[in-house]
Structure 1
Amino acid sequence: MTVPSGLTDGPIYLDYNATTPIDPAVTEAILPYLTGGFGNPSSDHHYGTAPRAALEHARGQVSALIGAAAGRIVFTGSGSEADNLAIRGAVLAAGADRPHVITQQTEHPAVLATYQALRRWHEVDVTYLPVDGAGVVDPAELAAAFTEHTVLVSIMAANNETGALQPIAELARVTHEHGAVFHCDAAQAVGKIPLDVSALDVDLLTVVGHKMYAPKGIAALYIRSGVPLEPLIYGGGQEHGLRAGTENVAFAVALGTAAQLAADDLAAGGRHRIQQLRDRLHDLLVRSLPERVLLNGPMSARLPNTLNISIRGITGHSLLAATPDIAASTGSACHSGDHQPSPVLTAMGLDADRGLAALRLSLGRWSTRDDVDRAAELITASARRP
């Protein structure tokens, strides 16, 4: 497999959960739609034919990756837009008086901020479910949170910091027993693990291109047949009337191609290779830094590429600053130079010192054993410095 040029000369990339390099096969697939295939897919003449067919083919590729034999795939400009369409669209379409919605404390900001806006502007009541020490929601907590006004539940498939996997099928079942709609932001999970919207029984599911080797600026929302949504963007009838504006055919093709590559990789067992590399990295660090490495999140029920650890005795941002040959993320947020523990780790019950010491090391398609071994050496050296 061809390595993207951006990875051939630079630090070891261990930040695949932040964004992925564009797969060269994806780049190749979109080029025709930046040149000769420039037509508007809504045009009935010759120049619209190929773009229209490409758009629908890409829709089918995304559907196939997530097992969506029925329902709609709506292309959006980002995962945040897809989340907004799902959440705001479902709440406004419900037409309820003072509707009630449910999410979790460790949800992505795109979801949390949308709920906060609905509370400000539409008097929506919001319940934030707690998580346990592994970052997982208890379905019993969800069941207890419903009211007669609950219209929507939104729970992510996998946490972007710890990789923790939520029991989505069980949470969706509880939601449907109470007559509400279930939305799942699967940005981090799609392409990394097998997902089937029919088996999970979700109503709405967010897919994000730049988390799966497509460009930034393209995402999609799966909408189960019969689930009503109010559009975010009004205008023409594009995207089933739910997202007006002439479609970005080239980037839709990119997402479709990335979906096909991900499906092929999952079928070939690529996730097992990445999990083995992740576990090797963890084991090397544990052996090199005895009694200092703490795993944040579940041991097994997490994404195969994600390792979130705290190393006693050094903050995450200090360690990465001392290790410029690695590109990774910390478990803290920096505001005007003031580092604070991640809200995700805080909600899991981790103390401030452990939260500030956290590192998120996320592997991907082009991670190698040499990368892992070298990264372990570099992290160990930085952690041992006085």
Structure 2
Amino acid sequence: MAPSTLSLFLTALMFAGVQGAVKDLDATCDAAADTCTNSVNNAIVLTCDALVSAGAKCHIKVGQDCNDPTSNSDKCVTGADCDTASSNKCLCGSGHTATASNICAPDTKFGGACTGGPDAQGNCDDTNALCSAASDGTCGCKSGYTGTDGQGCTISDNKFGGSCTADTANIQGTCADENALCSAATGGTCKCKAGYTGTDGAGCVVTANTFGGACTGGPDVKGTCVDANGVCSGATGTCDCKATYSGAVGASCVMDNQVGGTCSVSGQGSCTDTNALCTSLKCVCKDGYDGSAGGTCTKIADNTFGGSCTTTSVDAKGTCVDANAECPALTGGFCTCKANYDGYAGSGCALANKLGGKCTTMTKGTKGTCESAGAVCSMQVDGRCVMSGAKAVVASVTSLVLACIVCLLAIN
């Protein structure tokens, strides 16, 4: 075999593997991948008949010749019969309806006949189906769902609960809603990010009774809002924060001028904490300090991530204790992590998705993107890989024992 011929042969094999196989009449098939072709008479159009109870097979489509010299009168798609008395074509029998894909959909299945509409399930089998008319209707799918002729309705791709793809796990990817995250790079499912709740086939809305979400029991009182400092804007309204407090989706209401609260004037401005600065109208801890919303800014230990450091060479390790840290200035610097590493206040530096490193997850306290054995991600977004359960206890005890050994060695 000449090299060029061999190359073409291998290429054909490669594409056959990707695109599926070519199957003959009455052969078993995969509707998602295989192509059905009649080798004896390619004028007869076949389809992969997924409605065969014993498994999908290549059968003749509705409207195609079936009583030809090769005698294929028993090879019509499920629900069809060969009209040998007249047209010699496959025609749908009683209780079935011809669809656009030229198969026969059973009554009450997607594409099949129904009653009880319009805009209601009627007698369609699938709970996510709608019958198009009160009588002589056709079963379709409600918004956000996609149907397969003769079968049912599934959540449409890129809707909440539907399939999606992304460059990496837990970003929006192909999900249609800007507040959704795709759970995996391939074969993922659209979920909602922190602070949002989704409905299958639809999108993500702010979780009810949290800041920005729907509530009842107002106006101007807490109502059903879960935050102690929240108020419901109306009898049927939206959760907001009471006077002198501010909030954000997925967060609590914080008193103005406290850490995480609104403020005015740059510098310390109106922030009550002397170690906070008013930045973009929010009180944030200044460099070298750290604090949670509504709390206080406390000094980060020198030479740890975020703590002050010195160095004799810019962007070298300097006095930072972590081997993967850098001090960005000769004086007045604060320890940061070198490329591909990340840390948090008072910690060292770790690779993303490794123990101590940044991670994301669809559910707090599950593995998410963490790669280290026994690690779980502490938060949905901007979490940290930490040890879980008994392994965390073992790790803590081990650390304590090691610390004691170091102390004893130092004493001796």
Q: TM-score range by the shorter chain?
A: under 0.3
| TM-score, normalization by structure 2 | 0.19
Structure having greater relative contact order (Cα 8 Å, sep ≥ 6):
1
The structure with the largest helix share of the pair is 1
